Structure formats: structure tokens, C-alpha cells
Amino acid sequence: MRPYTFRMIAFTASLALIGVIFTQSFWVRNAIKHQEEQFNAKVKIALKTVANQLFDLKSDSLQREEYYCQETCSLNISGMFTPKFAIALDSLICAEFNCMGLNKEYIYGLYNERGMILPEQAEGNYMLIKNSRHNISLSCIHRSGGLHLGVYFFNQKGIVMRQLAGWIILSVVFTFIVIISYALTVMSFLRQKKLSEMKSDFVSNMTHEFKTPISTISLASEMLTKPQVVGDVDKVKKYAAMIYNENTRLKNQVEHVLQVTAFEQQKITLNYDRIDLSEALKMVAEVFDLYARESGGKVVFENHATVKNIYTDKIHFSNVVSNLLENAVKYASPNPVIKLEAHNHSFRGGKGIMIIVSDNGPGILPEYQRHIFKKFYRIPTGNRHDVKGFGLGLYYVKTIATLHGGWVQLNSQPGRGSRFSVFFPEK
């Protein structure tokens, strides 16, 4: 996928996600507002119903004297209303609000401008009830007294939110799922993009790596067909050795690629055998010491392990050490000083061998260290093009160590070299 196309898709998807979140938030706010309006309307209807029932009590000639005194009475519980009125008012209020599912979340009061009239326990909440949005005039039962019936809800917002809680939770959950899905999709796109770039680099590097030995073999083969070369034994040996060496190099490169395929298909098997630890490491160290000396450096081998033999796959064990030394020689040049060490090591109650390869190279920046063992990954080298490879060496090291039941660890600081530690548990 082209970078421009990816950016357009990411931008469009981000815009759509923001739009969905904004729209969802808008509808949730509107739902809360609408629910609050419905709540206010229900309370108003309930208060009007109570007022109508109080008026009915006053209009009924048989019950009027039971609940009310005359219009000329003073506005207090002992004068204007009988004690039975207070009980009836409380009963009517509770009946209406119980229908709305409201039990103990409100206080009510019958009041006028001079203060609270009923009930007596609401005296301290006069201002709350008076300033509440839920009140109604009771002029129908006392025209000249300025009576009002008010209700105050301690947590009206919470009551409304609880009524919508299920839908709000579902909305938040599904919005969260959409955000997580979007993030995972973008991350997947980025990983695929990165993998695509790494594979492109791999193909480019592989083409370059194959091209050099193929060109050398072609040139050497062409030289062997010339009469003046055929008659010269030294030149024939020289070109034959060149063909052999380049063919071996080409074979090793192909083997690296085939090993990765085997890892992915889980077809690789380990052939365990007892090997001499010191001898195996010494042989590999001597080979790469020659390469290091060509760049003015050296490879130092130190065996601190008390174990003489280890049970492992000899070929893969040697390849792991070779890959680490090869990287050290390549990246620490010129004048590489590399140390190969073997130590006894215990890990989580198990014993084994720790192989350590340290160098005096430029080190690895922290942002690259967490990617260093990934397949096809190569550290950017800027304008430096002399460091070749497929980005498979450390991936191979980690895979083999894991198959042995061990692990690999990197410690590196820019400008202070790198240190790779590989643990092989005892079998």
C-alpha cells in the first residue's frame, strides 16, 4: 500500500471515528435532557393530581369539616387544617410519587410567603422547597393564603441518570469497543506496513547478496574457459577456489532463508548430542578472529564454565555463536575487540550455560533494541552501506535459544558497545 493511500485511509477512519463519538455523545446528552424533561412533567402531573384530590376533599360537603376549617382561619396546622389533613396530604404525596418509583429521595412541603405550614419536619428545608422547580399553587383550596405545594429532589440528576443507566452503559461499552477496534486496526496496518517495508528491504538485500557471488562465479568460470588460463595450474586453482568459496557463501545465504521458512512452518528439529563446550566455542572464535584481524581487531575467548560437555544440537549451537560473532565483527569494525565468554548460570532454579558475546562497537539505541530480534529487522545505518545482511541472524539466535528452552538478552548503550547473553539450560 502506498504511503499516501495509507494516510488517506487513516485520516478518513479517524474522522469517521470522531464523528461517531461526537454523534453518540450528542444523542446521549439529548436523551438525558429529554428524560429530565419527562421527569419534570411527571412530577408536575403528580402535584396537579394531588392538588385536584385536595380540592375534591374540600368540595365534598361530608369531608370538608373533617379536613378543613373556615377560610377565615389562621394559616397554621391547628387553625386552617385539621391533623387529619396532614395525614391525607402525606398519603396522597406518597401514593403519587411511589408510582414514579420515588420513595425517600425527596421532601415536600405546604408553604406560603411567611414560612412552612406542613409538615412540621420540613421547617428546616423551607428555602429548598420554596426555590425548587417543582411547585404548584393551591389557590384552589385557599385563594387568599398564597399557598403552594413544593417538592425538592435531593439528587434529581442521579435519578434521571439511573433511569437511563442501561442505555448509557451500552453506549459507552460499544463506543469503547469501536475505539479499541479502530486502534487495533491501525496498529495492524502499521505492523503490516512495517513488515512490508522489512520484506522489501530483505528482497533488496538478498538480491544484492546473491548478485555478488553469482557475478564472481560467472567471472571465474569465464576465466577458466580461456586458453591462457587453462594452461596455468596456479590460475586454475585460484579461480576454482574462488568458485568454491563463492558457491559456499551462496549456499550459506540460501540456507539462512530456508531456516526461516522452516521456523515458520515449525519443521525444524533439534538433534541433541554431547559436545565439548570449550572445543566448540574455541573453533568458532578462531574463525572469526581471522575476520576481526583483517579489520585490525581480535576475538578473545574465555571459558569460565566448569561444565566440560553440554547436551545440545551441535550445528545450531555453533550457528548461534557464529551469528553473534559475525554481527559483532561487522558492526564493531574497524578495530573490533570482541570477547566470547562461557559461564555457569542458574535461572529460576534451573542450571545451564550462559554464552556472552560483547564488543566495542557503537552500541544500539534504545528505540531499536526492542525490535532487534524480529524477523527481517535491520538497524538503520544511515549513509553507511557496508554492513550487509538479511536481518535474520538475531531472529535465528532467539528462535534456537527458545527451542532449547533458553533465552537471549541484549544490554547495550550508545557509544559503549553491545553485550548479547544466550542461556542454554542443562538437559
Burial of 143 (0-12, 13-18, 19+ CB in 10 A): exposed
pLDDT bin (cut points 50, 70, 90) of residue 316 is confident
Instruction: Quick: pLDDT tens for 121-137.
Output: 777 889 999 999 999 99
Query: Residue 76 is which amino acid?
Result: N
Whether pLDDT at 266 is above 80? no
Q: How far apart are CA 259 and CA 44, in angstroms?
A: 79
Q: State pTM to two decimals.
A: 0.49
Mean pLDDT of 384-397: 66
Q: How far apart are CA 416 and CA 427, in angstroms?
A: 35
Q: How far apart are CA 25 and CA 239, in angstroms?
A: 77
Residue 63: enclosing H or E segment and its boundaries? helix 61-67
Question: If one looks up domain 272-425 in CATH, what number appears?
Answer: 3.30.565.10
Instruction: Quick: pLDDT tens for 139-159.
Output: 888 776 688 999 999 888 888
Q: How far apart are CA 406 and CA 399, in angstroms?
A: 9
Instruction: Quick: pLDDT tens for 216-261.
Output: 788 888 888 888 888 888 888 888 888 887 787 677 677 766 666 6
Grid cell listed for 34: 429529554
Which one-letter DSSP state was computed for residue 81? B
Q: How far apart are CA 343 and CA 195, in angstroms?
A: 36
Grid cell listed for 149: 405545594
Q: Cell numbers 406518597 correspond to what residue?
A: 94
Residue 209 burial (CB count, 10 A): 17
Least confident of 170-179, 184-193, 207-216, 297-306: 207-216
Mean pLDDT of 286-315: 89
Nearest to 420 by CA among 365, 340, 343: 340
Q: Cell numbers 538479511 correspond to what residue?
A: 390
Nearest to 403 by CA among 306, 312, 335, 337: 312
As a residue count, the chain comes to: 427
pLDDT value at position 75? 46
Any bridge partners for residue 81, and if so which?
Answer: 68
Q: Domain coordinates of the chain in residue numbers?
A: 3-163, 166-264, 272-425
Whether pLDDT at 383 is above 70? no
Q: Which CATH class is domain 166-264?
A: mainly alpha
pLDDT value at position 259? 66
